[in-house]
Structure 1
Amino acid sequence: MNANQARRLVVLGTGGTIAGRATQANDNVGYVAGQVAVSDLVAMVPALAACPLDVEQVAQINSKDMVLGVWQSLAERVAEHLDRPEVAGIVITHGTDTIEETAFLLQTVLRPSKPVVLTCAMRPATALVPDGPQNLSDAVAVALQPDARGVVVVCAGRIHGADDVAKVHPYRTDPFDSGDAGPLGCVEEAQLRMFRPWPQAVPERTHDAPGLQRLLGADALPRVELIFSHANADGEVVRALLAHNPVARRLRGIVVAGTGNGTVHDDLLAALKQAQASGVAVVVASRCGQGRVVPHSGQPLPDSAGLSPVKARLALALQLLGI
């Protein structure tokens, strides 16, 4: 055990498929997520027995049901553990459905100078051949890397950056992709092989404290809706949002997943310009699974700077919070 491995890691549990339980071992889809305690997940990986670990259950949910309150609790616990000098890194067990959004939020808000590694599973803990134990073991290997920093997602032996990772398959055990950028690296028998630099981190601190305080001070995320442009789009959804716009949940932004290079149906574009005129921020992303919106002089709406539609929605909400 080298000097870095002798340092302490923190494992935070939030539920998800990795903590799921089914009634039969051969059932990989009819399970209930968030049933197995994170302490039990750690105990299923004998290789972790020699690593000093603090284990904490922050939440126990299906990640499709992620809400601001869980994000706030998670970000607060991550920040507190990052400030502990003896902690080398943090591992978070999470559901796959919204792991890309949680990773993006934590990276945007905290920009940690230590590694914060989210991991997951596509099969429940009760599966005949669960994938969670190997993913958890790989995540620990990443968190122990001496030069690691920032928020990453580790699954199926690949290390994905928070800005690029996206879930692209609903069933296979390697469901994530990082698009044109590709993964940051891979884990091979607990050894890392890196292809790209780690995510950017805040200098000379463990995390961005002002960003965290803005998140923790929010009663709700600013209301930003996500809509799609498609054939025969008429803009009625946008006009309905503007017509029903209660003061308590005032519409602050719209992200539109445009066709191709961020193109938007003319009828929908007219409604979006109406929204802009009323003070609603509008951003366009591409609904394509790969690539990004390439800016050009004739572009009628500001683009998402390469972010996917779901991350662009979250980025705009955080921007409206001042983060």
Structure 2
Amino acid sequence: MQVSGQRIVVLGTGGTIAGRATSPADAVGYRAAELGIAELLQGVGAAEGLQLVAEQVAQIDSKDMDFAVWRDLAARCAHWLAQADVAGIVVTHGTDTMEETAFFLQSVLAPAKPVVLTGAMRPATAAAPDGPGNLADAVLVASTRGAQGVSVVFAGAVHGPVDVRKEHGTRLDAFSSGDAGVLAYVEAGRLRQLRAWLQGAPARAVATLPEPARWPRVEIVTSHAGAGGAIVRALVADGVQGLVVAATGNGTLHHALEEALLQAQDRGVAVRRSSRCAQGRVLAHAADRLPAAGGLSPLQARIALMLELMA
């Protein structure tokens, strides 16, 4: 059920959905972040009684996403969410770092209204662009009564911010929610909900986020056959404050890498173990010497650790 007499705010950040190529047949050699959000909204309608409001927050390829854009985007979301007549927010975003931005926004906003991220795998100039359909679906979800929290709407599926992963580099349905499953599907202009919207409290209030230059430095390293500790020691010497390790299986580590990580932890560096596996979670054990990141991916664990260190 959609709300009426309200506004949906659409915040643009660039990405493939705003991309342009020299040929309609070219879905690979395009330039991302070429079209403004107002142009993308042309032809995207809203339900009767809903007004779409466009605002350009950034204009970047999402592979170049940085802390400054995250902070600005979170601040603009917080501003609009506080307006009584705003029913929800849509954020157009590149797919490469969409899952990171979704997790970050949920962590600092935990909004009681919907904040919906969407984008495209084909540029706007493609012969059959997927952006307009994704954007229309995102507007529908953002205007659905009772919806809340951050979600990713893509190829007709609604993903939660903790479960969503980009799992394919070119396919139109590039995102998955793994064994957790999607929150809902958009079908013929209607929402079919399967799971409850994510609720919770902000891990860090937007207003208390420091300047991006002061955000703690957290890096990701990977365990693999023949892994050593040289990278860890170099990062510690370079002043890193946190390390997330993408471990094998259920958080297992090559012994040489584990030794270096334990030494880093002894020197005051915060360390978290996640898994490089696409699904499942790291199950903690009483004998663990390095804390587990639970069900968070390495990318999410990095964000969570950054926010933790900010405190």
TM-score (norm 2): 0.96
CA distance in 2, matches of 1:216, 1:74: 14
CA distance in 1, matches of 2:210, 2:190: 36
The SS at the match of 1:92 is: strand
Higher deviation after alignment, 107-116 or 211-220: 211-220
* Cα shift at 1:234: 1.2
1:279 counterpart = 2:259 = no
Higher deviation after alignment, 39-48 or 283-292: 39-48
CA distance in 1, matches of 2:230, 2:203: 41
Alignment of 1:14-53 (within 5 A): 14-46=13-45, 51-53=50-52
1:258 counterpart = 2:247 = yes
The AA in structure 2 aligned to 1:241 is L
- Which consecutive residues of structure 2, in runs of 5 or more, have no partner in the other structure? none
- State whether residues 116 and 150 of structure 1, in contact with CA within 8 Å, keep that contact through their aligned partners in structure 2: yes
- Distance change >3 Å, CA 59–CA 129, structure 1 → 2: same
* Cα shift at 1:291: 1.0
- Distance change >3 Å, CA 3–CA 163, structure 1 → 2: closer
* Cα shift at 1:47: 5.4
Equivalent residue for 1:214, pick from 187, 190, 208? 208
The AA in structure 1 aligned to 2:143 is L
The AA in structure 2 aligned to 1:220 is R
CA distance in 1, matches of 2:120, 2:17: 5
The SS at the match of 1:192 is: strand
Structure 1 runs of 4+ aligned residues shifted over 6 Å read: none
CA distance in 2, matches of 1:308, 1:187: 26
CA distance in 2, matches of 1:132, 1:201: 30
TM-score (norm 1): 0.93
Alignment of 1:143-292 (within 5 A): 143-202=142-201, 211-243=205-237, 245=238, 250-292=239-281
Q: Specify the alignment match of 2:296 in structure 1.
A: 307
- State whether residues 2 and 144 of structure 2, in contact with CA within 8 Å, keep that contact through their aligned partners in structure 1: no
* Cα shift at 1:300: 2.8
The SS at the match of 2:218 is: strand
- Aligned-pair Cα RMSD in Å: 1.7
* Cα shift at 1:51: 3.5
- Which consecutive residues of structure 1, in runs of 5 or more, have no partner in the other structure? 203-207
- State whether residues 103 and 152 of structure 1, in contact with CA within 8 Å, keep that contact through their aligned partners in structure 2: yes
The SS at the match of 1:251 is: coil
- Distance change >3 Å, CA 3–CA 284, structure 1 → 2: closer
Q: Specify the alignment match of 2:106 in structure 1.
A: 107
- State whether residues 149 and 201 of structure 1, in contact with CA within 8 Å, keep that contact through their aligned partners in structure 2: no
CA distance in 1, matches of 2:49, 2:207: 35
CA distance in 1, matches of 2:123, 2:5: 30
1:55 counterpart = 2:54 = yes
CA distance in 2, matches of 1:268, 1:122: 36
